[in-house]
């Protein structure tokens, strides 16, 4: 394994005392980052989630009254399953993060990061995994503040074959990374992630794309450094 980006645990994860996951919507922390957050927590890292929106514009569960409030409760329950220590849920407009000043979003990340003493930011890969503009904006905000205050930013990524398969089967605009673009892979146990996903009932009940993605990923997660730690 290339160790040029810093020190790694024996399981392959980078060493971190406090991890802050930066997300756009409730369920991103579980559907995408859940296995990784659970692994960090199991290994003794403090974990926190900053979520920018209530997810009120989702087409899944759109017939649910007060969907934003429901999803806020789902996020809180899922965080317990993942062993997340702190959750900060903001109410920026779902679907409108790209209209928000990048500096404003970055300052929220800085504020929460200072509170939880984060030494690692965990985000969706550039391109937002699915191309979702909110995902992209959340990642860009984390990268902006990470570079400003010298805080490493680690991105969860999809292997190219997973993204290609999902695009072919569902027409879903997933963005994958080649072997050369991935910095490292880690083995994960998806048990706690799946329990957290189940807590997001409004979004997970009728979600065949999610089920197929997890099947394709198996027991591995891929990562890229967007801003690597200093040695």
224 vs 10, higher pLDDT? 224
Predicted pLDDT at 10:
42
pLDDT tier, 228 (very low <50, low <70, confident <90, very high otherwise):
confident
Residue 27 reports pLDDT greater than 70? yes
Average pLDDT, whole number, for the chain?
93
pLDDT tier, 64 (very low <50, low <70, confident <90, very high otherwise):
confident
Predicted pLDDT at 206:
87
Predicted pLDDT at 11:
52
What are the pLDDT digits (tens) for 146-179? 999 999 999 999 999 999 999 999 999 999 999 9
Exposure string for 53-62, b = 16+ CB within 10 A, e = fewer: bbbbebebbe
How many C-alpha atoms does 32 have within 13 Å on its Cβ side?
A: 24
All domains of the chain in start order, with CATH: 18-227 (3.40.50.10320)
Contact between residue 54 and residue 93 where contact means Cβ atoms under 8 Å apart: no
Sign of the dihedral through C-alpha 88, 94, 95, 100: negative
Query: In Å, what is the CA distance from 138 to each residue of 25, 74, 145, 201?
Result: 10, 20, 11, 23
Which of helix, strand or coil describes residue 150? coil
228 vs 199, higher pLDDT? 199
Residue 9 reports pLDDT greater than 50? no
What are the pLDDT digits (tens) for 209-223? 999 999 999 999 999
Query: In Å, what is the CA distance from 130 to each residue of 6, 11, 54, 76, 154?
Result: 29, 28, 19, 24, 17
Contact between residue 88 and residue 66 where contact means Cβ atoms under 8 Å apart: no
Which of helix, strand or coil describes residue 205? coil
Over residues 23-40, the mean pLDDT reads 98
Over residues 25-36, the mean pLDDT reads 98
* Contacts for 80 with CB less than 8 Å, ≥ 6 apart: none
Q: What percentage of residues in the chain have a pLDDT greater than 90?
A: 88
What are the pLDDT digits (tens) for 116-131? 999 999 999 999 999 9
Residue 96 reports pLDDT greater than 80? yes
Nearest to 104 by CA among 151, 150, 149, 140: 140
């Amino acid at each position: 394994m290339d160790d040029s980006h810093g020190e790694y645990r024996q399981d392959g994860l980078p060493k971190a005392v406090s991890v802050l996951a930066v997300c756009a919507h409730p369920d991103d922390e579980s559907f995408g980052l859940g296995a990784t957050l659970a692994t960090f927590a199991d290994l003794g890292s403090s974990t926190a989630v900053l979520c920018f929106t209530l997810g009120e514009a989702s087409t899944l569960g759109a017939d649910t009254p007060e969907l934003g409030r429901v999803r806020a409760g789902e996020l809180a329950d899922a965080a317990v399953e993942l062993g997340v220590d702190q959750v900060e849920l903001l109410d920026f407009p779902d679907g409108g993060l790209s209209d928000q000043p990048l500096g404003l979003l970055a300052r929220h990340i800085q504020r929460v990061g200072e509170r939880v003493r984060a030494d690692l930011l965990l985000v969706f890969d550039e391109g937002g995994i699915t191309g979702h503009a909110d995902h992209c904006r959340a990642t860009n905000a984390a990268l902006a503040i990470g570079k400003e205050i010298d805080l490493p930013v680690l991105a969860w990524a999809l292997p190219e074959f997973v993204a290609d398969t999902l695009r072919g089967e569902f027409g879903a605009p997933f963005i994958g990374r080649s072997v050369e673009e991935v910095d490292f892979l880690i083995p994960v146990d998806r048990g706690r992630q799946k329990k957290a996903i189940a807590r997001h009932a409004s979004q997970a009940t009728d979600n065949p794309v999610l089920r197929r993605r997890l099947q394709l990923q198996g027991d591995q997660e891929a990562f890229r450094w967007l801003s690597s730690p200093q040695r």
